[in-house]
C-alpha cells in the first residue's frame, strides 16, 4: 500500500532554493555586465538617431458674440444655442476629417521639405529658400525624395536618385494614384527659378520663398505624401478644455519641426473661425438669397404696373379722376397690404411645413421674419432646428457614435413636432384674419363699382401699383437689415494665445527613459536566462538538497581538488581538503565502534554515474588511513574502466582480474606505492565478463586473504546507478560511501540509491558531497582531471563500447582533463 512518504521526493523536487538562486545570479555577474553594455550601446544608438520632438500650443475662447445691430425689432435671427454646446461642437470640428482636409489643403502640407541628416532625412520646413507650386491635375512622385541642388540663387538641378525603375504618382486633384516609370539612374535636369517643370515624376514650379532661409549651398529634397495619410496624421491633434474655464480650448500638436507646428495650429484656428462665421451667417445668407430671388421677380411686375399706370394717365385729367376717391383708395391700399402680409405668412407656413415633412437638412431655412412672422415660438424653434442641423452635419465627420446621432435626431424630431403644431395653430388664426380682410375689401370694392368707369380703372391700377411698391420697399428694407447684421457679425472664436516659437517646447526624445529601459532589459534578459537555467537545472548543489531528497546521512563534505593529480591529501596534508577526509575517517571510526566491527575494516565507495569523483575519494580515503600508520590497500574493482594506477605511476598490466581468473596469486597482483602503508591492486586487463568474476568464489577468497594482511581495505567499485557490480560487493563491506558531486549529480539519481537502501541491498551507507564550493554556480563544470571523461550517459557507453572524442573540443577536454 502506498504511503504519503513515498511522494516526498516529488514534493522536494518542486521546492525552490531562493538563497541558492541569488548565489547563482551573483556568480553570473559577467553576463549581466555584458548584457548591460549591449543594451546601453543599443539605447545610445537609438537616442542619437532619434529626431527631437517638440510640442506647440495655442488657446482660444468660445463665447456668444452678440451682434450690436441685432435687436428685438430686427427682422432676422442670427444667434442661438449656448456656449457649452458650441465648445463641444468646435472640439469635434478641430479633430474632424473635413476640417483637417481644409487646413492641409490650405498649407499644402502633403509636400515635405527635407534635408539629409547624419542618420536620416530631417524636416526642413521654414528653412528652405524656396517653395513648390504644383499642378494638382498632374502626377507627383509618391514617397520618394526629389533632390534640388542650387547652382546659384536663380538656377538649380533637379534629380531623383533611386534604384527603383517603377513608382507611383499622386494626383491630388482627384486623389488618385497612378504608376510611373523612373530612369534607371540619377538624371539631373537644370532649371531656373519660376520655370514650368513637366516631368514624369514632377509637374510644377520652384519659386523663391522670401520668408524662408537663405542657404543655397545645401542640398534640399521635396517629397510628396498621401493626402489622406497626411490628414489622418493631423487628426491626432490634441484638443482639451480648461477645467476651470470650460469655454477655453487648448490645442496642442507634436512634431519634429516647430515652424510647421506653429503654422498648422494658427491655420487650423483661422480656418475654424471662418467656417464658424460662415455657419453663423448662414441664416442671413439664406434670407438674403430668398429676398434677392423675390425682388428679381417683383421688380419686373412693378415696372410693368408702373408702365401701365403711365399709359392710363396719358390724355386724361388725372386731378379730376383722382378727386373723390382718395380716401377709398388709401383704404383699399391698406387692406391690400394687410392681405399680402397675411398671405405671405400663410405661404411661408405652407412652405415650412412641406420642408419639415420632406427634408432632413434644415440648415438652409430662411428667417421666419422675412415673411413678417413675429411669433417667438416659431422663430425660436426654427432657429434651434437650424442650429441642430448644422451641428449634426459637422459631427458626421468626427463622431462615429450612432447613439449620439440618434439622440440628435430625436431632439430634432421633437422640435419638428412642436413646430408643426405651431404652424397649424398660426394658420387657423391667419385664415380667420384673411377672411375678415377679404370682407372689408369686398365692401370697399362695392363702393368703387358705383363710381365712373375711368375712376374705377384708375383706382384699380393705382391700387395694384401701390401694393407692389410697398411690398418691394419692405423687402428692400429687410435686405438692408440683413446686410447690416451680417456685416456686423463676428466669430464666436477668438485667440487667447496664438501658436508661437518662443524657444523651448522640447518634449523628446526621452533619452533617460531609453537608458532606464536599457538597465531593465540589461538585467532582465540575463536574469531570465539564469532563471531558466535554474528551472531546468536538477543537479545537487549543497547538502540541503541531499537532505531533502534522502534520509541517508551525509558523512562528510569534500572540497574542490587542489592538486593536478588525485593525491591531494598526500601532497597537501595540512590543507582543508585533507582535513575533510580526516573528518570522514573519524566518522567512520565512530560508525565501526558503534557496529562493534573488529579487525580489518572494509570500505566501499560507489556513486550514481561516472565523473562524480568516486576514484578521487577512494585514493584519498585510503591515504588518510595509511597516514595514520594503518596498513591499507586500494582494490580497483571498476573492471570496466580501470583508473587507479596512473596517479601512483604504476602499470595496469596485472591486477584483480588476473587473480580472479586464477592466473596470479594475491601477492603477485599487490603493488606497493610511494605512500607509506598504502598498497594498490589495480583492475588489470578488461575482462569480457566482469560481473561473473565479482560473483565468483575467488572474489570471496581475495577479500579473506586481504583481511589477513591489512587493517583497511578500500574498494573502488563501478557506479551503482549503471551496473550491479557494486551491489554484489556490498556484502563484504562494513561501510559504504556513496559519492555525489556538486552541480553534477542529478537529483533523480538519489531515488535509485534510496530504493536500493530501502530494499537492504546497500547497508551502512553514507553520502559524501564531493567538489563542494561555497560560491559555485549551479551547473558549473569543474573538470577534476583524474581521467573520468564520461558523464551520465557517457559512462554507460564506455562500459559497453569505448567512446572516443568526436570533436576537437572533446579531444582538447580529453587531452587536458588532468590539468584542470
Any idea what DSSP says for residue 205?
A: E
Which is higher by pLDDT, 229 or 63?
229
Facing residues of 148 across strands?
Answer: 158, 220
Q: Is 582 inside any structural domain?
A: yes
E strands in 93-243:
111-116, 121-123, 130-134, 140-141, 146-150, 155-159, 166-171, 176-181, 189-192, 196-199, 202-208, 220-224, 238-241
For 627-637, what is the mean pLDDT? 91
Q: Is residue 40 part of a domain?
A: yes
Give, rounded to a whole angstrom, the gap between the first and last alpha carbons of the chain.
50
The CATH number for 558's domain is 3.40.50.300
Q: Is the peptide bond before 509 cis (omega within 30 degrees of 0)?
A: yes
Residue 398 has pLDDT above 70, yes or no: no
Helix (H) or strand (E) segment spanning residue 725: helix 725-729
Residue 262, pLDDT score: 93
Same domain for 633 and 685, yes or no, is: yes
Quote the CA–CA distance of 113 and 118 in Å, as a whole number: 17
Kindly tell me the sign of the dihedral angle through the C-alpha atoms of 272, 275, 278, 376.
negative
Task: Assess if residue 502 is contained within a domain.
Answer: no
Per-residue pLDDT at 800 exceeds 50: no
pLDDT tops 90 at residue 418: no
Position 460 confidence tier, pLDDT thresholds 50, 70, 90: low
- Give yes or no: residues 527 and 660 share one domain: no
What pLDDT is stored for residue 805 in this prediction?
46
Q: Are residues 749 and 797 in the same domain?
A: yes
- Residue 307 is predicted with a pLDDT of 66
Give the domain extent around 45: 18-50+509-536
Q: Across residues 131-139, what is the average pLDDT?
A: 93
Q: Could you say which of 247, 280, 313 is where a domain stops? A: 280
Which of 218, 251, 280 is the last residue in one of the domains? 280
Span of 355-359, 480-484, 523-527, 724-728 with lowest mean pLDDT: 480-484
Looking at the DSSP bridge assignments, the partners of residue 158 are 148, 189
Pairwise CA distance, residues 496 & 518, whole Å: 43
Cβ neighbours of 421 (radius 10 Å): 12
Residue 12 maps to a domain = no
User: Residues 795, 755: one domain?
Assistant: yes
Do 239 and 265 lie in a common domain?
yes
Residue 111 near residue 132, CB atoms below 8 Å: yes
* Rounded Cα distance, 312 and 316, in Å: 8
Looking at 234, 257, 280, the residue that finishes a domain is: 280
- pLDDT (0 to 100) of residue 781: 36
Between 681 and 79, residue with greater pLDDT: 681
Same domain, 252 and 125: yes
Query: Which tens digits make up the pLDDT trace of 370-382?
Result: 677 777 778 777 7
DSSP 339-401: HHHHHHHHHHHHHHHHHHHH-S--TTPPPGGGGT---HHHHHHHHHHHHHHHHHHHHTTT---
Is 405 found in the same domain as 264?
Answer: no
Q: What is the pLDDT of residues 59-117, one digit of tens each?
A: 998 876 555 444 444 444 444 334 456 788 888 889 888 899 999 999 999 999 999 88
**Phi, psi (5° rounding) for residue 769?**
-95, 110
Q: What does the block give as the cell for 807?
A: 570533436
Instruction: For residue 179, tell me if it sits in a domain.
Output: yes
For the stretch 158-174, what's the b/e string if a residue is b when 16 or more beta carbons lie within 10 angstroms of its beta carbon?
bbbebeeeebbbbbbee
pLDDT at residue 3, rounded to an integer: 45
- Answer whether residue 3 is part of any domain: no
Specify the pLDDT at position 155.
94
Percent of residues, the chain, with pLDDT higher than 90: 27
Residues 401, 417: one domain? yes
Rounded to an integer, the average pLDDT of 423-441 is 81
Res 433: pLDDT: 78
> Phi and psi at residue 157, in whole multiples of 5°?
-110, 140
583 confidence band (pLDDT: 50, 70, 90) = very high
Calpha distance 681→667 (Å, rounded):
10
Q: In terms of domains, do 678 and 758 share one?
A: yes
C-alpha cell at 149: 541642388
pLDDT digits over 750-771, tens only? 888 888 888 888 888 999 999 8
Residue 739: how many other CB atoms lie within 10 Å:
23
CA separation for the pair 248, 246 (Å, rounded): 5
Q: What are the E-state strand segments in 742-787?
A: 765-772
What's the pLDDT at 222?
A: 94
How confident is the model over 221-236, as a mean pLDDT?
A: 92
Three cell numbers at 44?
545610445
Q: Tell me, yes or no, whether 138 lies in a domain.
A: yes
> Does some domain include residue 731?
yes
How many domains does the chain divide into?
A: 4
Whether residues 249 and 101 share a domain: the answer is yes
The whole-angstrom separation of Cα 112 and Cα 171 is 16
Averaged pLDDT score across all residues of the chain: 79
Answer yes or no: do 26 and 82 share one domain: no
pLDDT in tens, 483-534: 776 666 677 788 889 999 888 888 878 788 888 999 999 999 999 998 888 7
Q: Is the pLDDT of residue 366 over 80?
A: no
Q: How confident is the model at residue 404 (pLDDT cuts 50, 70, 90)?
A: low
- Specify which residues 204 forms β-bridges with: 134, 197
**Is the pLDDT at 454 greater than 80, yes or no?**
no
Residue 152 has pLDDT above 50, yes or no: yes
Could you read off the pLDDT of 273-323 as tens digits, one per residue?
888 777 767 667 767 777 777 777 666 776 777 666 666 666 554 544 454
The answer to whether residues 317 and 218 belong to one domain is: no
Per-residue pLDDT, 198: 92
pLDDT digits (tens, 9 = 90+) for 597-628: 888 889 999 888 888 888 899 999 999 999 99
Question: Which pLDDT score, from 0 to 100, does residue 780 have?
Answer: 38
Amino acid at each position: 500500500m502506498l504511503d504519503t512518504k513515498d511522494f516526498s521526493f516529488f514534493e522536494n523536487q518542486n521546492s525552490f532554493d531562493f538563497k541558492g538562486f541569488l548565489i547563482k545570479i551573483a556568480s553570473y555577474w559577467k553576463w549581466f555586465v555584458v548584457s548591460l553594455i549591449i543594451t546601453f550601446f543599443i539605447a545610445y544608438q537609438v537616442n542619437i538617431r532619434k529626431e527631437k520632438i517638440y510640442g506647440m500650443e495655442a488657446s482660444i475662447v468660445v463665447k456668444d458674440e452678440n451682434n450690436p445691430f441685432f435687436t428685438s425689432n430686427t427682422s432676422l435671427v442670427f444667434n442661438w444655442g449656448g456656449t457649452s454646446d458650441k465648445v463641444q461642437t468646435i472640439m469635434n470640428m478641430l479633430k474632424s476629417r473635413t476640417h483637417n482636409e481644409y487646413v492641409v489643403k490650405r498649407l499644402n502640407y502633403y509636400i515635405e521639405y527635407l534635408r539629409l541628416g547624419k542618420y536620416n532625412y530631417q524636416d526642413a520646413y521654414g528653412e528652405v529658400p524656396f517653395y513648390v507650386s504644383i499642378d494638382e491635375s498632374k502626377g507627383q512622385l509618391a514617397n520618394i525624395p526629389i533632390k534640388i541642388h542650387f547652382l546659384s540663387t536663380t538656377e538649380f538641378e533637379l534629380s531623383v536618385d533611386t534604384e527603383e525603375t517603377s513608382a507611383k504618382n499622386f494626383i491630388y486633384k482627384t486623389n488618385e494614384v497612378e504608376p510611373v516609370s523612373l530612369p534607371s539612374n540619377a538624371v539631373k535636369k537644370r532649371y531656373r527659378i519660376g520655370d514650368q517643370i513637366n516631368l514624369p515624376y514632377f509637374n510644377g514650379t520652384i519659386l523663391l520663398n522670401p520668408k524662408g532661409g537663405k542657404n543655397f549651398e545645401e542640398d534640399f529634397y521635396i517629397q510628396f505624401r498621401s493626402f489622406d495619410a497626411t490628414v489622418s496624421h493631423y487628426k491626432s491633434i490634441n484638443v482639451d478644455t480648461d477645467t476651470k474655464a470650460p469655454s477655453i480650448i487648448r490645442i496642442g500638436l507634436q512634431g519634429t519641426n516647430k515652424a510647421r507646428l506653429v503654422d498648422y495650429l494658427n491655420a487650423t484656428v483661422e480656418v475654424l473661425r471662418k467656417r464658424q462665421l460662415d455657419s453663423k451667417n448662414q441664416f442671413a445668407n439664406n434670407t438674403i438669397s430668398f429676398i434677392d430671388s423675390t425682388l428679381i421677380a417683383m421688380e419686373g411686375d412693378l415696372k410693368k404696373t408702373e408702365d401701365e399706370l403711365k399709359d392710363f394717365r396719358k390724355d386724361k385729367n388725372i386731378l379730376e379722376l383722382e378727386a373723390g376717391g382718395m380716401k377709398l383708395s388709401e383704404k383699399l391700399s391698406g387692406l391690400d397690404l394687410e392681405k399680402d402680409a397675411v398671405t405671405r405668412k400663410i405661404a411661408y407656413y405652407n412652405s415650412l411645413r412641406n420642408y419639415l415633412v420632406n427634408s432632413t437638412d434644415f440648415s438652409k431655412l430662411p428667417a421666419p421674419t422675412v415673411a413678417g412672422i413675429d411669433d417667438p415660438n416659431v422663430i425660436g424653434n426654427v432657429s434651434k432646428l437650424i442650429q441642430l442641423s448644422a451641428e449634426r452635419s459637422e459631427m458626421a465627420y468626427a463622431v462615429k457614435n450612432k447613439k449620439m446621432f440618434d439622440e440628435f435626431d430625436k431632439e430634432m424630431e421633437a422640435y419638428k413636432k412642436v413646430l408643426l403644431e405651431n404652424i397649424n395653430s398660426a394658420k387657423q388664426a391667419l385664415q380667420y384674419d384673411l377672411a375678415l380682410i377679404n370682407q372689408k375689401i369686398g365692401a370697399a370694392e362695392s363702393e368703387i363699382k358705383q363710381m365712373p368707369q375711368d375712376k374705377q380703372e384708375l383706382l384699380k391700377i393705382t391700387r395694384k401699383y401701390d401694393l407692389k411698391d410697398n411690398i418691394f420697399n419692405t423687402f428692400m428694407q429687410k435686405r438692408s437689415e440683413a446686410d447690416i447684421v451680417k456685416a456686423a457679425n463676428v466669430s464666436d472664436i477668438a485667440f487667447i494665445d496664438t501658436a508661437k516659437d518662443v524657444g523651448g517646447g522640447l518634449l523628446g526624445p526621452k533619452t533617460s527613459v531609453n537608458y532606464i529601459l536599457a538597465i531593465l532589459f540589461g538585467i532582465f534578459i540575463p536574469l531570465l536566462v539564469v532563471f531558466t537555467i535554474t528551472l531546468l537545472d536538477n543537479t545537487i548543489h549543497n547538502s540541503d538538497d541531499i537532505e531533502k531528497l534522502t534520509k541517508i546521512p551525509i558523512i562528510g563534505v569534500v572540497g574542490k581538488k587542489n592538486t593536478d593529480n588525485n593525491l591531494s591529501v598526500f601532497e597537501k596534508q595540512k590543507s582543508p581538503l585533507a582535513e575533510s577526509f580526516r573528518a570522514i575517517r573519524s566518522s567512520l571510526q565512530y560508525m565501526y565502534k558503534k557496529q562493534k566491527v573488529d579487525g580489518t575494516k572494509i570500505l566501499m565507495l560507489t556513486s550514481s554515474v561516472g565523473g562524480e569523483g568516486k576514484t578521487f575519494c577512494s585514493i584519498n580515503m585510503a591515504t588518510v588511513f595509511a597516514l595514520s600508520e594503518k596498513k591499507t590497500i586500494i582494490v580497483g574493482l571498476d573492471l570496466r574502466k580501470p583508473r587507479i594506477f596512473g596517479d601512483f605511476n604504476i602499470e595496469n598490466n596485472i591486477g584483480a582480474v588476473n587473480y580472479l581468473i586464477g592466473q596470479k596469486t594475491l601477492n603477485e597482483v599487490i603493488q606497493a606505492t610511494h605512500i607509506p602503508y598504502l598498497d594498490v591492486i589495480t583492475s588489470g586487463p578488461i575482462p569480457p565478463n566482469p560481473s561473473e568474476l565479482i560473483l565468483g568464489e575467488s572474489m570471496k577468497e581475495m577479500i579473506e586473504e586481504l583481511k589477513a594482511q591489512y587493517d583497511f581495505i578500500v574498494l573502488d567499485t563501478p557506479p551503482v546507478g549503471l551496473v550491479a557490480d557494486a551491489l554484489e560487493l556490498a556484502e563484504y563491506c562494513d561501510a559504504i560511501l556513496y559519492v555525489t558531486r556538486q552541480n553534477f549529480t542529478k537529483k533523480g539519481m538519489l531515488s535509485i540509491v534510496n530504493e536500493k537502501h530501502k530494499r537492504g541491498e546497500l547497508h551502512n551507507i553514507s553520502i559524501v558531497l564531493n567538489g563542494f564550493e561555497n560560491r559555485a554556480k549551479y551547473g558549473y563544470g569543474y573538470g577534476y582531471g583524474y581521467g573520468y571523461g564520461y558523464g551520465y550517459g557517457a559512462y554507460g557507453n564506455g562500459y559497453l563500447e569505448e567512446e572516443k572524442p568526436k570533436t576537437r573540443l572533446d579531444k582538447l577536454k580529453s587531452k587536458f582533463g588532468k590539468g584542470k
